[in-house]
Amino acid sequence: MNKNYTWKDLFFYASVFLFAASLPLSEFMISLSAGLLVIGCLLTGRFNEKLQRLKNQPAALLIISIFFVYVFGVFFTQNQALAMYELQKTAFILVVPLCLAIGPSISYSIFRKVLITFLAALNLASLIAIFRLIFREQFGIHEIWEILFVSHIGFSFQILLGVSILLYELYHHHSISKKLRLLLIADIFYLILFLFILKSLTGLVTFAVLLVVHLFFVIWKIRIRKWRIFALTMIPVLIFGGFFYLGSCIYRFYDTEQIDPAKLPERTQNGNIYLHDLEDKTLENGHYTGLFICEKELKKSWEQRSSLGYNQNAPNGFPVSASLVRYLTSKGLTKDSAGMSKLLPDDIRFIEKGIANHIYTQRFFSLYPRIYQTIWELDVYFKTGDPNLKSLAQRIEFVKAARTIISEHPLFGVGTGNWKQEFIDAYQKNQSKLDPQHYGSSHNQYLNYLVKFGILGFLWIIFAWTYPLFLTNKHRYYPAVMLLLILGIANFSDSNLEAHMGISFFIFFYSVFLFSETQQPELKQ
C-alpha cells in the first residue's frame, strides 16, 4: 500500500479486501464486511466532495435507482412487514455501489490485489470443501452441497467468475512467466473440475452456455482457414454430445422391465400376500415401484436391522418406508423379507440417511445421479401431478403461479410486499397440488421483477443493470461482461438478485469492476 494513505483509507480498503475474501467462505462475514464498508466510507469524510462525485457518476445513480424501485413498490403494499424485509434484502444494491463509487478511489494496484484475494479465498474454500467431501462420513455430510460454507449455487457463479478472471490474465498479460502461466492454466482446469464435482445444475448449464458463446468468439479470432473450419465443427459436436448424453440418461431411465400382470406371483416366499399396484407407473432404474410389495414383512425386517422406525422421517423429510421401497426397487429386489436379506449394512445406513436409490451412493463424483434425480422428479410429477419435495417440479408450479399473477397485473405489478399473498391466491386459482408450506416465489429473477413491478418496472431495472457497463466503458473489460452474462443466464432458474449470496456477490464485483481502475494507467489508451 502507498504510505500516503491515512488509516481511514486503509480501513476502507481493508473492508473491500475482507468482502472479497468472505464471498466464498462465510455469509456472516459478507454482512459484516458490508457494514465495515459503510463505516469506512463515512470515516473518510469529505462529504461535499463525495456528493459531487456521485453527481458525476451516472452509472452509480442508475444502479442505486433499482433499490428505489423497491421503495416505490412499498407504497402499493399492504404487507408492510414483508416490504421492509424485501428492502433489507436488497439494501446491498444501495450500499455497496454507493460506497465504492464515492469512497477512496481503487487504483489498478489495489484492484489487482482485490482479485488475487478473491481467487485465493475461492481456491481455499474449494480445497476445504474437497477435504470435507473425502471425510464426509466423519463430518456427517449427506448431500454434495453440504461441503461448502455458502450456497452451492452462489459458489458455482464465483467459480465461473474466477475462471473468467484467470482467462483474462492469460490473454492480456503476456509478460507473466511460463511457470505462472502453467499455474493459472492448472487453476482454471481445477476450478472447472470442482464445478462438475459440485453438480449444481444451474452452474453447469450456465457454464455450458458460456462455453458455446466463447467458442464463437474464438472462431472469429482464428485467421487460419483449416483451424477455423475445425473449430466450427466443434460447436455442433459439443452441442450434440451434450444432448446425446442427456438422451442416453433419459433412455436408461425409461428402459423398463416387461411385466405380464397374469404372471406376477401372488405370495412371497413366506406365504404372505404381495401388493402389485399396476396403476403406479413410477420407476427406479427401470423397475416399477408399485410391484412386489409386502409391507408386513418389510416393516418387520426393517425394524430388526435398524433403530430408526419404519414410519419415521429420514433427514431429507421423506418417510423411511418410502426411501426403503425405492431403494429396494432400484436394486431390482422384491419389497419383502427376501429383498431385505440381500441388503448390506452399508445399504441400511444409506436408507437411514434418506438415500432412495443405490446409484446415489456409488457415483458421488459422477454427474449422472444428479441428472437421474432430475429425470425422476419430472417423471413422478408428470405422472402424479405431485410436485412436493421435488426441486424442479416445484419450480414449474412456481412459474405457473407467477404467470397467473403477471397476467392479472401486467403493467405495474403487485408491489414490493404483496407478492406472497398473491402467490398463495395464484396457487389456489391454479388448483396446484403443492402443499402450502412449499409455496414460494417463481425462482426466476425476471418473473419476480414482473410480478412485483410489472413490465414498466422490469424494463427499467434491466436497463439500470446493463447500461452502466457502457457508461463506464467497461463493456470492453472481459470479466465485467462475463459477470453480467453469468447472472443474466442463471437468473432464469433462480432469483439470485434477491438472495443474500447472489446479490452480495454480484453487486460487489459489478461495483468493483465499474468504479475501479481495471487497466494499468499507461495502457489505457
- Of 362, 383, 407, the one marking the end of a domain is 362
Residues 6+ apart with CB under 8 A from 30: 19, 22, 23, 500, 501, 504
Q: What is the pLDDT confidence band of residue 184, given thresholds at 50, 70 and 90?
A: very high
**Dist. CA 520–CA 195, nearest whole Å:** 31
Contact 99, 508 (CB under 8 A): no
**Dist. CA 508–CA 503, nearest whole Å:** 8
pLDDT higher than threshold 90 for residue 129 = yes
pLDDT higher than threshold 90 for residue 311 = no
- The conformation of residue 224, written as its DSSP 8-state character, comes to S
Torsion of CA 412, 414, 416, 419, to 10 degrees: -150
Percent of the chain with pLDDT over 70: 98
**132 plus 175 within the same structural domain:** yes
**222 plus 275 within the same structural domain:** no
- Report the pLDDT value the prediction gives residue 522, as an integer from 0 to 100: 62
Mean pLDDT of all residues in 333-338: 92
Q: Who wins on pLDDT, 388 or 60?
A: 60
**Which residues span the domain enclosing 335?**
261-362
Q: Who wins on pLDDT, 521 or 81?
A: 81
**120 plus 230 within the same structural domain:** yes
- Of 201, 218, 249, the one marking the end of a domain is 249
Measured in whole angstroms, how far is the alpha carbon of residue 23 from the centre of its chain?
A: 14
- Report the pLDDT value the prediction gives residue 239, as an integer from 0 to 100: 81
Contact 482, 464 (CB under 8 A): no
277 in a structural domain: yes
Contact 339, 333 (CB under 8 A): yes
Mean pLDDT of all residues in 179-204: 91
**Dist. CA 356–CA 337, nearest whole Å:** 18
Mean pLDDT of all residues in 71-79: 89
522 in a structural domain: no
Mean pLDDT of all residues in 189-206: 90
- Report the pLDDT value the prediction gives residue 405, as an integer from 0 to 100: 95
Q: What is the pLDDT confidence band of residue 389, given thresholds at 50, 70 and 90?
A: confident
**158 plus 292 within the same structural domain:** no
**167 plus 300 within the same structural domain:** no
497 in a structural domain: no
**211 plus 119 within the same structural domain:** yes
521 in a structural domain: no
Q: Who wins on pLDDT, 144 or 450?
A: 450
Q: pTM here?
A: 0.84
Mean pLDDT of all residues in 363-378: 80
- Report the pLDDT value the prediction gives residue 365, as an integer from 0 to 100: 62
Domain count, the chain: 2
Span of 35-49, 352-366, 427-441 with lowest mean pLDDT? 352-366
**240 plus 273 within the same structural domain:** no
**Dist. CA 413–CA 249, nearest whole Å:** 40
**134 plus 186 within the same structural domain:** yes
- Of 336, 362, 388, the one marking the end of a domain is 362
13 in a structural domain: no
Q: Who wins on pLDDT, 202 or 221?
A: 202
Q: What is the pLDDT confidence band of residue 63, given thresholds at 50, 70 and 90?
A: very high
- The conformation of residue 336, written as its DSSP 8-state character, comes to S
127 in a structural domain: yes
- CA distances from residue 38 to 45, 49, 178 in whole angstroms, order as listed: 12, 17, 41
**Dist. CA 280–CA 289, nearest whole Å:** 7
Mean pLDDT of all residues in 500-519: 93
Contact 312, 319 (CB under 8 A): yes
Mean pLDDT of all residues in 7-25: 94
Measured in whole angstroms, how far is the alpha carbon of residue 505 from the centre of its chain?
A: 12
Mean pLDDT of all residues in 456-475: 95
Q: Who wins on pLDDT, 17 or 376?
A: 17
Span of 316-320, 380-384, 440-444, 500-504 with lowest mean pLDDT? 316-320
- Report the pLDDT value the prediction gives residue 3, as an integer from 0 to 100: 60
- CA distances from residue 514 to 44, 105, 164 in whole angstroms, order as listed: 21, 12, 16
**Dist. CA 327–CA 376, nearest whole Å:** 13
- CA distances from residue 178 to 66, 170, 174 in whole angstroms, order as listed: 45, 11, 10
- Report the pLDDT value the prediction gives residue 421, as an integer from 0 to 100: 92
214 in a structural domain: yes
How many Å is the Cα radius of gyration of the chain? 27
**Dist. CA 313–CA 323, nearest whole Å:** 10
**177 plus 218 within the same structural domain:** yes
22 in a structural domain: no
pLDDT digits (tens, 9 = 90+) for 291-307: 999 999 999 999 999 98
pLDDT higher than threshold 70 for residue 187 = yes
**216 plus 284 within the same structural domain:** no
**189 plus 266 within the same structural domain:** no
pLDDT higher than threshold 70 for residue 524 = no
- Report the pLDDT value the prediction gives residue 364, as an integer from 0 to 100: 56
- Report the pLDDT value the prediction gives residue 262, as an integer from 0 to 100: 85
- Report the pLDDT value the prediction gives residue 388, as an integer from 0 to 100: 84
Q: Mean pLDDT over all residues of the chain?
A: 89
**Dist. CA 113–CA 189, nearest whole Å:** 22
**125 plus 244 within the same structural domain:** yes
pLDDT higher than threshold 70 for residue 401 = yes
Q: What is the pLDDT confidence band of residue 76, given thresholds at 50, 70 and 90?
A: confident
